[in-house]
Amino acid sequence: MLKTLDELKTNGYDYLKDVTAVDYVTYLEVVYILYNIKLSREEIVKVQLDPKNPKIHTIMDKFPAADWYEREMSEMFGIGIVGRRAKRLLLEEWNGISPPLRKSFAWGKDYAKE
């Protein structure tokens, strides 16, 4: 995945439009959307992760705009971002609770009582 992103950046895809995650229950998928402004072209890179131990390398050294996206994936999907130095949380109230955007999240449960 890192090699693919490096190659795309070398070929002019230097604008990171979006990074997100999708929970397909049997696997998690991280989706990177890169854009080449000169060519007006978009490329999408998808990476499948094991839902029991989801981890992916940070891309902040290549695309600093990935900061917010990586924080969101970490907190909302429980994806470990390997090599990430900043550990700030977006939402303190979710700290320690099951990732809320995973399909296994127990909606309706009163987490405030725990």
Give the mean pLDDT per block of 10 residues along the chain (114 residues): 92 95 94 96 97 93 90 88 76 65 68 52
Whether the Cβ atoms of residue 95 and residue 89 lie closer than 8 Å to each other: yes
List domains and CATH numbers for the chain: 2-103 (3.30.460.80)
- Residues paired with 15 in a beta bridge: 35
Q: What is the pLDDT of residue 47?
A: 97
Work out the widest C-alpha separation in the chain, in whole angstroms: 54
Model pTM? 0.84
* DSSP classification of residue 113: G
